[in-house]
Structures are given as C-alpha cells and as structure tokens.
Amino acid sequence: MKLFLCSHFAKVGILLKDQVEGKTLVFIPTASINEGYKGYVGSALKLWKKLNTNIIEIEISTANMNDIHKAFEKADIIYFTGGNSFFLIDSIKKKGVDKLIKKHLENNKLYVGESGGAIICAPELTYIKKMDEVPDNFSQKDYSGLNLIDFYVLPHYLCAPFKKCSQEILASNPDLNICAINNSQAILINNGEKIELNV
C-alpha cells in the first residue's frame, strides 16, 4: 500500500514528481465544498497540472456511484484535498467509497491525502475535533476513519491559523500515536515503511 500524506500539497507535492508524471489522477475536492476558504484546492490543482498528470475531477457527495467507479478505474492516483475531515469521511462511507479506496490501494495505486484527506486515513477521528467541526448532519454512528495507517496525522502543526489548536490536540492526546507535520512536511508510506519527508 502506497500513501503520501501532507498538510499542504501545493508546497510538498513536487516530492512526487518522478512517481506521478504522465499518470491519471482522480481529484476529489469533497472535503472543501462547504468551507469558506478554498484556495488550497486551486493551488493543488495547478501543481497537479504542472506535474503533468491527467486529471479526472469528481465530487463524491453528489456524484453517482457508477461515475465514481469509472473514475477510480481509470486512475493511477487517488487524491483527496483538504477541508472538513468529518464531512469527508461521512460522504465516503455513505456511498461505500471506503471499500472502493481499499480495493484500489490493494492494486498498488497511490493514495495522496492533503490535510483532511490525510486525517481520514487514521483508525479514528475524534482527536481532530479541535481543528475540524463535526457537521450537524453527520450520519455515521461513530468517528472511525479509513484505518489505512496505525497512527494519527496532525496537519498544519504550529502553522497559522492552526497554531494553537494543533498544540492543544498534541498535548491533550498523550496516549495517541500522533504524527504532527507542518506545511513543508509529508509522510510517505510504502508497504508498511514510513518515511518522513521535508521540502
């Protein structure tokens, strides 16, 4: 299983240059659709184009499952933008996209998660409540994540506007295996091996 998890894709995505050039990407902006600020979505899209990838954009909370399946089938890379991780995991599970992600990762596709897209890979998401609000219409019975990793990504560590809440999350979860990364760092997981990268 291959995963590239980061806080700010526009800043660190260049680290993937050799692995993604000429590949097809499914670009999923779902986490961002209800957010006030969405600048990171445009900047990530710009970098993916610069990296010479073929982009299929699909918003999973409104797309039909047939179109989602087709997009995943064509893609070599599955990319989730940042945004609200609770809204994202709820949308994923409502549609059964969690099973689809796992199936495609087993076929050696690359998962790239930025901020909310990285957070949802954890076993459980309660730890991130100080950073992300749970939407009023959240429909899952618990806050379980995709469980693709055995640790918990804390993005934007000590970065504005999350400086205070990222410190509080780390301090209030001493028993959790938290991996805090700033906007210039990324985590690469390749068949169980975890490598921390910096730009």
Domain at 117, CATH number: 3.40.50.880
Q: Are 4 and 188 in contact (CB under 8 A)?
A: yes
Query: Amino acid identity of 10?
Result: A
177 is a domain residue: no
Max CA pair span of the chain: 43
- The b-or-e profile of 14-39 (16+ CB within 10 A means b, else e) is ebbeeebeebebbbbbbbbbebeeee
**DSSP alpha helices (H): ranges in 51-96?**
65-74, 85-95
In the block, residue with structure tokens 């409502």:
94
pLDDT tens track for 95-111: 999 999 999 999 999 99
Prediction pTM value? 0.97
What is the residue range of 105's domain?
A: 23-146
Q: Give the integer Cα–Cα distance in Å for 10 and 49.
A: 11
- Mean local confidence (pLDDT), 136-153: 97
For residue 186, being part of any structural domain is answered with: no
| Phi, psi angles (nearest 5°) of residue 94 | -60, -40
Average pLDDT over residues 3-24: 97
pLDDT at 175 over 90: yes
Report if residue 176 sits inside a domain. no
Instruction: Give domain status of residue 53, yes or no.
Output: yes
Q: What is the pLDDT of residue 65?
A: 96
How many beta carbons lie within 10 A of that of residue 47, not counting itself? 18
Question: Looking at the predicted structure, is the pLDDT value of residue 192 above 90?
Answer: no
Give domain status of residue 65, yes or no: yes
Separation CA 33–CA 91 (nearest Å): 11
Q: What value does the mean pLDDT of the chain take?
A: 97
Handedness of CA 50, 56, 61, 62 (dihedral sign): positive
Give a yes or no: residue 170 inside a domain: no
CA–CA distance, 109 with 101 (Å, rounded to integer): 9
- Give the number of domains in the chain: 1
Query: Which whole number is the average pLDDT over 26-35?
Result: 97
Whether residue 197 is contained in a domain is answered as no
Q: What is the pLDDT of residue 107?
A: 94
Whether residue 69 has pLDDT greater than 90: yes
Residues annotated catalytic, as ranges: 115, 156
pLDDT of 38 over the 90 cut: yes
Determine the average pLDDT of the residues in 21-27: 97
Rounded average pLDDT over 31-44:
96
Structural domain includes residue 84 = yes
Q: What is the mean pLDDT of residues 12-33?
A: 97
Q: Give percent of the chain above pLDDT 90.
A: 99
Rounded-to-integer distance, Cα 7 and Cα 15, Å: 13
| Single-letter code of the amino acid located at 162 | F
Task: List phi, psi (to 5°) of 158.
Answer: 60, 20
Q: Is the pLDDT of residue 72 over 90?
A: yes
